[in-house]
Amino acid sequence: METHRVDFEALRRAADDLDHRAKVIRRARGEHERHNFSGRSGSGRVVATCLGNGTVTEIAIRGGVLSSIYPETVAAEIKDAIGNARSRASEAASRAFKKVAPDLAGGQ
């Protein structure tokens, strides 16, 4: 019968390395979540700002838009601006993750 020896020191080093990497990733995530990202609607009449975690913090609608002939189109522009802001936040999160953990993010 074959016996297997466990290298407990190697296991401890591996666990310490994983703990360190997790702290680095959590720190990067926390920093990212505090950044603001802005996005404009296609017409540029609406600008949305969100945090790195996607929470919308501000919507700016250019003056006169709500009193235009078709104010109901503003809802679609708000949705577009929010989507663009969140897309920027997501792209930045992906870049940050690749920087701190390229082997886990699929980048080299």
pLDDT at 3: 75
Contact predicate 88/38, CB 8 Å:
yes
- pTM here is 0.77
Listed in sequence order, the residues at least 6 apart from 75 whose beta carbon sits closer than 8 Å to its beta carbon are none
pLDDT at 51: 97
Q: Return per-residue pLDDT of the chain as tens, 108 residues.
A: 677 888 899 999 999 999 999 999 999 999 999 999 999 999 899 999 999 999 999 999 988 777 776 777 889 999 999 999 999 999 999 999 898 888 876 654
Write the CA distances from 8 to 17, 24, 79, 91, integer angstroms: 14, 24, 54, 40
Q: Cα 53 to the chain's mean position, in Å?
A: 5
